């Protein structure tokens, strides 16, 4: 049996006819840039999230950068982010003129609220929590810290569309949030695409202008801006995907439960929190990231058995990349995590039998190791 980590062609093939129909309809209308499909998708997404407004952008990295530009970072302003995140969380802060400060992670791999508090200085202006692997951070603790120290929150919600904390959607906790529609994300498009969630009505205009040459929605230039618009065709495909998103989440949670039942007895691995293990969290399992003893050997064994895996971010926490000026941070929890972390196949294309096979292979590996 072969279980690829993520079969990109299936994203299209599973709904081949619907997507072709959407393509023909949009293309025949000649609707390619900022047409009704973008506005409709933005409204649908805002409604889905119970958010004030949404602005479609080119990708989530742009979205984070635009969000920090709208916040307005001055030279020396520090923003705290997790060491276990895509470099994009930090690079957006940097490119918007601020200084990213990586901090350590907690037991579930997400940013540690205690580490946030410890990292606050006179120059700290914000926190950018990453809603990692389809799971929310403890936003109650983080919101309290932000309030006490008067800090802005911009959520990196790239991986977590549909996840909730205390019943509230990820993406609606910060002043802004960015969501990614990279093909392998929980809601994937057929290329680059993203969105900024705007939770303050008065700041909608600044995000809107930043994403389209400083123009207002009526076309008047009011400020400096850039071009990072959501592609109209992608928006049409995404509307279709969003209408089926709850089914995708349901399937991902089923798979997580299956991994939980089959793997929880293995002492050498540590699983992510199970779907119903804590009523405050509703996780959407963008990824199923485990910690595993003899990780590299396990990965090779899985690969030899036809199972694709991935080590997140090319195997490094953000402070571990040389040359970015973040090497001076000492973050032992993140360092230990990256010695052991590995992601198992997790997407709505794989079958129960395939998940069972992955588990069988892991069991046979640990009988010998």
CA 354 to chain centre: 25
| DSSP annotation of 163 | -
- Regarding 79 and contact with ligand PLP (CB under 6 A), the answer is no
Query: Residue 268: CB partners within 8 Å, gap ≥ 6?
Result: 292, 293, 294, 366, 369
Smaller CB distance to ligand PLP: residue 149 or 313? 313
DSSP codes joined into one string, 247-298: HHHHHHHHHHHHHHHHHTT-TTEEPPPPTTS-TTEE---S-EEEEETTHHHH
Query: Residue 322: CB partners within 8 Å, gap ≥ 6?
Result: none
Binding mask 121-150 for ligand PLP (x = CB under 6 A): ---------x--------------------
- Regarding 358 and contact with ligand PLP (CB under 6 A), the answer is no
- Regarding 61 and contact with ligand PLP (CB under 6 A), the answer is yes
Smaller CB distance to ligand PLP: residue 70 or 361? 70
- Regarding 60 and contact with ligand PLP (CB under 6 A), the answer is yes
The token duo for 162 is 């549909």
Query: Which residues are bridge partners to 290 per DSSP?
Result: 342
Smaller CB distance to ligand PLP: residue 56 or 275? 56
Smaller CB distance to ligand PLP: residue 63 or 345? 63
Tell me the closest approach of the beta carbon of residue 133 to ligand PLP, in angstroms: 9
Q: Binding residue for ligand PLP (CB under 6 A) from 88, 115, 236, 248? A: 88
Residue 43 CA: distances (Å) to CA of 22, 56, 195, 312: 18, 10, 11, 32
The answer to whether the Cα torsion of 250, 8, 289, 185 is positive or negative is negative
| Dist CA 66 CA 43 (whole Å) | 19
- Residue the block writes with tokens 């709850």: 246
Tell me the closest approach of the beta carbon of residue 250 to ligand PLP, in angstroms: 21
- Regarding 182 and contact with ligand PLP (CB under 6 A), the answer is yes
Q: Binding residue for ligand PLP (CB under 6 A) from 159, 172, 234, 348? A: 159
Smaller CB distance to ligand PLP: residue 104 or 156? 156
Region binding ligand PLP by CB under 6 A among candidate stretches 8-16, 56-64, 274-282, 324-332: 56-64
Region binding ligand PLP by CB under 6 A among candidate stretches 58-66, 210-218, 273-281, 300-308: 58-66
Tell me the closest approach of the beta carbon of residue 241 to ligand PLP, in angstroms: 15
Q: Binding residue for ligand PLP (CB under 6 A) from 45, 53, 54, 85? A: 85
Tell me the closest approach of the beta carbon of residue 302 to ligand PLP, in angstroms: 22
- Regarding 89 and contact with ligand PLP (CB under 6 A), the answer is yes
Q: Which residues of 212-221 are buried (b: 16+ CB within 10 A; e: fewer)?
A: bebeeeeeee
- Regarding 309 and contact with ligand PLP (CB under 6 A), the answer is no
């Amino acid at each position: 049996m072969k279980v690829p980590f993520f079969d990109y062609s299936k994203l299209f093939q599973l709904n081949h006819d619907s997507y072709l129909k959407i393509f023909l309809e949009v293309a025949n209308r000649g609707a390619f840039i900022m047409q009704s499909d973008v506005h409709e998708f933005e409204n649908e997404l805002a409604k889905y999230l119970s958010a004030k407004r949404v602005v479609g952008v080119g990708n989530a990295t742009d979205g984070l950068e635009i969000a920090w530009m709208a916040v307005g970072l001055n030279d020396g302003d520090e923003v705290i982010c997790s060491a276990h995140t895509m470099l994009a969380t930090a690079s957006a802060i940097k490119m918007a003129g601020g200084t990213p400060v990586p901090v350590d992670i907690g037991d579930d791999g997400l940013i540690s609220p205690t580490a946030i508090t410890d990292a606050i200085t006179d120059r700290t202006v914000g926190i950018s929590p990453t809603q990692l692997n389809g799971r929310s951070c403890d936003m109650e603790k983080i919101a309290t810290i932000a309030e006490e120290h008067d800090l802005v929150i911009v959520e990196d919600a790239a991986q977590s569309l549909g996840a909730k904390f205390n019943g509230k959607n990820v993406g609606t906790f910060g002043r802004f949030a960015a969501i990614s529609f990279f093909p392998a994300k929980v809601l994937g498009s057929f290329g680059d695409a993203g969105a900024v969630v705007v939770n303050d009505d008065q700041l909608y205009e600044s995000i809107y202008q930043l994403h389209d040459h400083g123009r207002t929605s009526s076309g008047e230039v009011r400020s400096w801006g850039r071009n990072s618009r959501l592609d109209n065709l992608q928006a049409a495909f995404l509307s279709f995907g969003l209408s089926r998103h709850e089914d995708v989440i349901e399937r991902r949670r089923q798979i997580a439960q299956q991994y939980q039942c089959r793997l929880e007895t293995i002492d050498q691995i540590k699983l992510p929190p199970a779907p119903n293990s804590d009523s405050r969290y509703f996780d959407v399992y963008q990824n199923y990231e485990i910690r595993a003893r003899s990780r590299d050997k396990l990965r090779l064994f899985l690969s030899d058995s036809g199972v694709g895996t991935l080590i997140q971010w090319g195997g490094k926490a953000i402070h571990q990349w040389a040359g970015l000026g973040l090497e001076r941070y000492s973050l032992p929890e993140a360092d230990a995590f990256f010695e052991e972390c590995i992601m198992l196949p997790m997407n709505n294309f794989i079958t129960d039998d395939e998940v069972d096979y992955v588990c069988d292979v892991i069991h046979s590996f640990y009988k010998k190791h």
